[in-house]
Amino acid sequence: MTDSTGAITTPVLFLGHGSPMLALEHGPWHAALQSWRSGHRGIRSVLIISAHWETANEFTLNAAARPGVLHDFSGFAKELYDLDYPAPGDPALAAKAGDLLREAGLSVRLDPARPLDHGAWVPLRTLFPEARTRVVQLSLPRPRTVEALLEAGRALAPLRKEGVLIIASGGLVHNLRRLAWSSHPEPEEWAQRFDNWIVGRILDQDLAALTQAATRAPHYQDAVPTTEHFHPLYVALGAAGHSPCQPVYTGWQHGNLSLRAMSWE
């Protein structure tokens, strides 16, 4: 998107990163993300929030010049552990993002050595396969509130005018106990109802309802038994502001694992 001066404002992207095995597949999720990426220019760096990095009491930004990757999973195919993603970091962006969060009254620190977890590097391998785009990862603090996550997104929103793509990586429906591991059936009714309710509120820009999803959304406890995959959405919503939302992908994996992806342009 460009403003009245012709300057590019980068989008905000939320995506369900699904199983780590997506890193070895080349299906419709990959095609959708690659198609989305091909339509967007001017991306200088990425700031990504992943469900798989939680830190005690405060936000943390990885400030490594070469972060490398974590294979933070077990029991998958050997080929998955051989994958790398040697993208450069962006210490200057980490420092600036830290300043913005502090100015918003949020507690934050920089980690000079933290690698990228699979919630970050798996989708980034699809979006930026050349591994030349600089990447900074932001943690989820624990404990946390929805309001703090929204405020973090709002604080980081000015980076969109500097060529920084903000990505929130998690999943709207993420309950490993309710998956169908041996096949890929259609999602069950409870999963689809929750997904539809959240997306409907996003399209309506009904932030008040979204902040109360834990008590208002149908089947919230089934869809969100733990919050780490759902909560990155609030950082995306805060960063997106009033930007209109566009669908990127609407598929599912293992029955009830949402791979939905959306962008705010």
- The domain that holds 137 is classified in CATH as 3.40.830.10
Helix segments in the chain, DSSP class H = 28-38, 78-81, 91-103, 118-127, 146-156, 189-203, 207-211, 213-216, 220-223, 232-240
Contacts of 241 (CB under 8 A, 6+ apart): 154, 157, 264
On whether residue 3 sits in a domain, the answer given is no
Please state the domain count of the chain: 1
Return the pLDDT at 4: 45
Residue 38, domain extent: 12-264
Helix (H), strand (E) at residue 219: none
On whether residue 55 sits in a domain, the answer given is yes
Token look-up 């805060």 returns 238
**Exposed/middle/buried for residue 3 (C-beta within 10 Å: 0-12, 13-18, 19+):** exposed
Return the pLDDT at 1: 56
| pLDDT tens for each residue of 187-210 | 999 999 999 999 999 999 999 999
| Count of residues making up the chain | 265
**Percent of the chain scoring above 70 in pLDDT:** 96
3-state secondary structure of 80: helix
On whether residue 5 sits in a domain, the answer given is no
Q: What's the rounded Cα separation, in Å, for the pair 95 and 159?
A: 12
On whether residue 1 sits in a domain, the answer given is no
Return the pLDDT at 77: 85
Q: 198-209: buried (b, 16+ CB within 10 Å) or exposed (e) per residue?
A: bbebbeebeeeb
Return the pLDDT at 184: 63
On whether residue 7 sits in a domain, the answer given is no
Low-confidence ranges of the chain (pLDDT < 50): 4-6
On whether residue 111 sits in a domain, the answer given is yes
3-state helix, strand, coil in the chain (%, to 5): 40, 20, 40
On whether residue 171 sits in a domain, the answer given is yes
Return the pLDDT at 5: 47
This prediction has a pTM of 0.95
